[in-house]
Amino acid sequence: MDRQFNHVQSGDIRLRVAVEGEGPLVLMVHGWPESWYSWRHQMGPIAQAGYTAAALDVRGYGGSDRPHPVGAYDMQSIVGDLQAVADRLGGGRAILVGHDWGAPIVWNSALVDPVRFTAVAGLAIPHLGVGKAPFIDIARKLFTDKGRFFYQIYIQDEGVAEAELEADVRGGLRKLYYVLSGDAPAGAWPGDKVHGDTLTHRLIDPEVFPAWMSAADLDYFVSEFEGSGFRGPFNRYRNFHRDFAWLSQFAERRIEQPSLFVSGAQDMALKMFGHDVEPRMREVLSDLRGYHLIEDCGHWTQQEKPDEVNALLLDWLSRI
């Protein structure tokens, strides 16, 4: 099927959306540091199954607009972007699929707007409810106050992380993609990094890159970030207090729509949430229809194991 790029207006922001196929809208939302291209393996199979497969460039990334203010990247604004895409491409309805930062975006979109968003799947990052405090405050106590490095704390100071990654986009992406993948050896992420270290300090740049990301794939991501820079993507991490203030009104609400969770069994991000993730998810998701851990898979779920992810997504879609 032919793939095309559409542009959707969301307020004063123009969003680029890759689209393939016809039928009910399945809107896929990427994480950091990625783009619509992260869903390249999913779009064709979903379109062939009878859906409009759409993969968004989140604001700040790729071909979408990149407003400068930090507040332009709060959760409420980005949920509004998904609503605009659902209205324009899905007749006011969409099934959501998100990975990494895209997962909290789709979980919260489904939470606050159950009419537009009829089902939701999250990859890598689970939904555990709104929480009792802004996550960044909890992270400071767990990491910074103990002198430990935590990447989301490092990102808080505007311009610092941007300067590091933009000085060597290719090298930074290679290190991040590798160290969080299922191909990296145990301990590839230095557990003894201290507060004050940089993001890519002591990360491995492998001589041979994992086969799941070809040279052409890496070239595409590098080109996108050389064009967009990293300020917009990093601004998403600078809105925890705004997000908490807005989402607190929905703290007692459960996600009632059909849902799905998929993660790599070796994903460092999932391990941050402890060992009882599934029962905690079932407390806040009324219709969780699958909780799947894919073996030999790290954080880049749908890129590392596209066949396994596609099978799970298509089965779930067929049952909603």
What residues act catalytically?
100, 299
Query: Strand 117-123 relative to strand 94-99: parallel, antiparallel, unpaired?
Result: parallel
Query: Strand 285-294 relative to strand 255-264: parallel, antiparallel, unpaired?
Result: parallel
For tokens 């990494």, name the residue.
100
For tokens 């460039």, name the residue.
57
CA separation (Å) from 67 to 64, 235, 236, 286?
Answer: 10, 10, 12, 36
Residue 303 neighbours by CB distance under 10 Å: 24
Question: At residue 128, what is the residue type?
Answer: L
Token duo for residue 118: 């009829």
